[in-house]
């Protein structure tokens, strides 16, 4: 979500946010084997961060407003700006150290009428095409590598922004991921639909929409799931963990206190399909997605980071993008990015994390 309406967004979030410890299950008790000084939790370690991209330009384009990351077929990392631009980054990291990224390409994106997108979610498909969400309608569009629009996927009417649907403007498709095998695509709503209530613990329920395909067919609408998000936070990104589970990034902001960013592991495989449930949480037999806290990133060591606005941990900023750069058994290497909203008070920052996944 862009915070170009910064004062309004901050006020709304400040009113809604209660940054007390989450009621979700505690992080798994799994000993961390590497450099306890860099551990954020028993499962997550921060390897390093970099501000080198902050307030830079590439071929006349501002390198910022980054809302999503995706691994590309050529080894680069695609980075999506919510101002309708798609960068390719040459990302390097020596061992478990500080990441570095150099832009090597940028293309412009547009809707069917040549207008701008509020582009938030990104997947590079197995044929190299780009799947990009926009919060405006919301939508999922497909583009070629050079930015040519190829088409768009169907979206359920209820997920459309009011008055066409029940979604709140600027709170729709924030995250997007493709499960291994390329058959299941999942988009995450940032906030609840109007009329959807909380779960029994008082946590708002947001919807995850899936699409499925077989062989060379295009994606068709698939099951929809209810995901319980912590009070005062919203879903800013999702990523496939590689075993059917999802990494979920929850993020919030409180004026004068800063950001809260939590990384969860979620499993939709035993959740109910809530496509036909008009108002969540639904009946007694409706099962939401189960989730498990991996780390509150505010608990990570700051590693000498500085912040340009009040933060409980100066390492934190408006983190919106997440990509798995390497999988080795149950160990994942992650790259995260913050969206600076082209604001002098925020930073475009890359974060490198190592995650030890608990067993299902």
Predicted structure pTM score = 0.90
Please state the three-class secondary structure of 241-283 as a single string. Answer: CCCCCEEEEEEEEECCCEEEEEEEEEEHHHCCCCCCCCCCCCC
* 43 touches 27 (CB < 8 A): yes
Per the CB < 8 A criterion, the answer to whether 140 and 153 are in contact is: yes
Q: What are phi and psi of 335, to 5 degrees?
A: -125, 130
**Exposure letters 248-279 (e unless 16+ CB within 10 A, then b):** bbbbbbbbeebbbbbbbbbbbeebbebeebee
Q: Which residue has the tokens 């009329």?
A: 195
137 neighbors 162 (Cβ within 8 angstroms): no
C-alpha triplet 291, 295, 298: angle, nearest 5° = 135
Q: Give the Cα separation of 1 and 7 in Å (integer).
A: 14
pLDDT of 271 reads 98
Q: pLDDT (tens digit, 0 to 9) for every residue of the chain, 360 residues total?
A: 554 434 334 333 333 333 333 333 333 334 444 446 799 999 999 999 999 999 999 999 999 999 999 999 999 999 999 999 999 999 999 878 899 999 999 999 999 999 999 999 999 999 999 999 999 999 999 999 999 999 999 999 999 999 999 999 999 999 999 999 999 999 999 999 999 999 999 999 999 999 999 987 899 999 999 999 999 999 999 999 999 999 999 999 999 999 999 999 999 999 999 999 999 999 999 999 999 999 999 999 999 999 999 999 999 999 999 999 999 989 999 999 999 999 999 999 999 999 999 988
CB 131 within 8 A of CB 140: yes
Q: Give how far the C-alpha of residue 315 lies from the chain's centroid of Cα atoms, to the nearest Å.
A: 18
Furthest CA-CA distance within the chain? 55
pLDDT at residue number 32:
40
Which token pair is 189?
Answer: 């709503």
In angstroms, the CA 301 to CA 14 distance is 25
Q: Which residues contact 15 (CB under 8 A, 6 or more apart)?
A: none
CA 180/CA 327 separation, integer angstroms: 12
Tell me the chain's radius of gyration from C-alpha atoms. 19
Q: How far is CA 186 from CA 50, 241, 244, 322, in A?
A: 29, 13, 11, 14
The pLDDT value given to residue 216: 79
């Amino acid at each position: 979500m862009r915070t170009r309406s910064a004062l309004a967004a901050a006020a709304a979030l400040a009113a809604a946010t209660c940054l007390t410890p989450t009621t979700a299950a505690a992080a798994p008790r799994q000993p961390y084997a590497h450099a306890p000084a860099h551990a954020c939790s028993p499962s997550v370690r921060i390897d390093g961060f970099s501000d080198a991209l902050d307030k830079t330009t590439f071929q006349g384009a501002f390198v910022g407003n980054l809302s999503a990351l995706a691994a590309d077929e050529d080894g680069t990392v695609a980075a999506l700006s919510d101002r309708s631009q798609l960068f390719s980054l040459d990302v390097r990291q020596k061992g478990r150290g500080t990441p570095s990224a150099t832009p090597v390409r940028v293309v412009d994106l547009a809707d069917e009428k040549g207008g701008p997108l509020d582009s938030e979610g990104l997947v590079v498909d197995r044929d190299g095409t780009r799947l990009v969400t926009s919060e405006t309608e919301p939508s999922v569009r497909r583009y070629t590598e050079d930015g040519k629009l190829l088409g768009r996927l169907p979206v359920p009417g209820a997920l459309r922004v009011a008055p066409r649907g029940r979604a709140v403007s600027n709170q729709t498709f924030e995250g997007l991921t493709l499960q291994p095998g390329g058959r299941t695509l999942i988009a995450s709503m940032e906030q609840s639909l109007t009329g959807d209530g909380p779960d029994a613990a008082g946590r708002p329920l947001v919807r995850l929409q899936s699409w499925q395909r077989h062989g060379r067919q295009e994606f068709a609408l698939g099951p929809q799931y209810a995901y319980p998000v912590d009070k005062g936070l919203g879903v800013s990104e999702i990523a496939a963990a590689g075993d059917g589970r999802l990494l979920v990034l929850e993020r919030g902001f409180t004026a004068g206190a800063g950001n809260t960013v939590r990384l969860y592991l979620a499993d939709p495989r035993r959740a109910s399909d809530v496509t036909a449930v008009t108002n969540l949480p639904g009946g007694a037999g409706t099962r939401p997605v189960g989730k498990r806290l991996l780390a509150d990133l505010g608990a990570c060591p700051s590693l000498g980071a500085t912040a340009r606005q009040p933060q409980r941990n100066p390492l934190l900023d408006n983190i919106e993008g997440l990509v798995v750069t390497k999988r080795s058994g149950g160990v994942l290497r992650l790259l995260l990015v913050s969206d600076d909203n082209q604001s002098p008070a925020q930073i475009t920052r890359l974060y490198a994390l190592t995650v030890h996944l608990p067993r299902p």
